[in-house]
Amino acid sequence: MRTILTAIYIFLIAFTAFSQADPAKIKVSEDIELIKISENAYVHVSYYDMPGYGRSSANGLVFINEDEAFLFDSPWTDSLTMDLYCFLRDSMKIQITGFIPNHWHIDCMGGLAYLQTQEVESYAHQMTIDIARSKQLPVPGHGFIDSLQLFLGDEAIHCYYPGAAHSMDNIVTWIPSEQILFAGCMVKSLNSDNLGNTSDGDLDAYPGTISKVMKQFSAAKLVIPGHGQCGGPELIQHTLDLAKTR
């Protein structure tokens, strides 16, 4: 009897731990997850079979104010982006009204064409627009050079171009109300041991660019990389170390 009770007790502990392990994770589909990181923000994680790399994940951000939201980076494809868009609209009653890609790669704006069919306004660095146009990709609607301030209701969104790093056009986005920095692929997760794909970037400029980001956003409580686990400012320091020792 004691053995049975012990087994039940262990099961209940394990069940409780499991049910509390990811209380903020929402499974949208087999290839998309939403992870709540603050009162008004979710990281969206999408999965895609990259040729030569296999199944790969990428992070984006959903910032919500009441029943509207901005999307930062789309899932990899139009179909994945449609799944996320429809889930937010139908299940969470949230309408995406704006979109900002970190740079021109598929893991940032692979779903832009779908968002344009839904009349979502899109904003990007002018270099991203120029590259997209030259590569015959869907083109964001509005461009900026150094910085851009937008509003979602009464909440500010700040976009900055700190310089070349992962790509020539990569930006960062700061949401002061949440103290969230969406850094995208220029910042690496702590388990990354290299800078990843830099074929479209600038390795010489990388340390200086990351140093600017570190200095300007030292108040960030949450830093979201393009891939892997989110964290704090230690992700920026880790990336700087990688950039200096490449």
> Which active-site residues does the annotation give?
103, 105, 107, 166, 185, 188, 197, 227
Residue 17, SS3?
helix
C-beta separation of 37 from 72 below 8 A? no
Distance, in Å, from the CA atom of 108 to the CA atom of 85, rounded to the nearest integer, reads 15
The packing angle between helices 206-216 and 234-244, to 10°, is: 160
Cα→Cα distances 76→52, 73, 199, 223, Å? 16, 9, 19, 21
Distance, in Å, from the CA atom of 191 to the CA atom of 82, rounded to the nearest integer, reads 30
Distance, in Å, from the CA atom of 89 to the CA atom of 130, rounded to the nearest integer, reads 31
Looking at beta carbons, which pairs linking 17-21 to residues 24 or more positions away fall under 8 Å? none
Please list the residues that pair with 98 across neighbouring strands: 70, 121
Which residues in 105-123 are b (16+ Cβ under 10 Å) and which e? Answer: bebbbbbbebbbeeebbbb
Distance, in Å, from the CA atom of 106 to the CA atom of 237, rounded to the nearest integer, reads 26
Give the E-state strand segments of 66-200 in sequence order: 68-72, 95-100, 121-125, 142-144, 147-152, 155-160, 172-175, 180-184
Query: What are 31's two structure tokens?
Result: 């290839």
Residues in the chain: 246
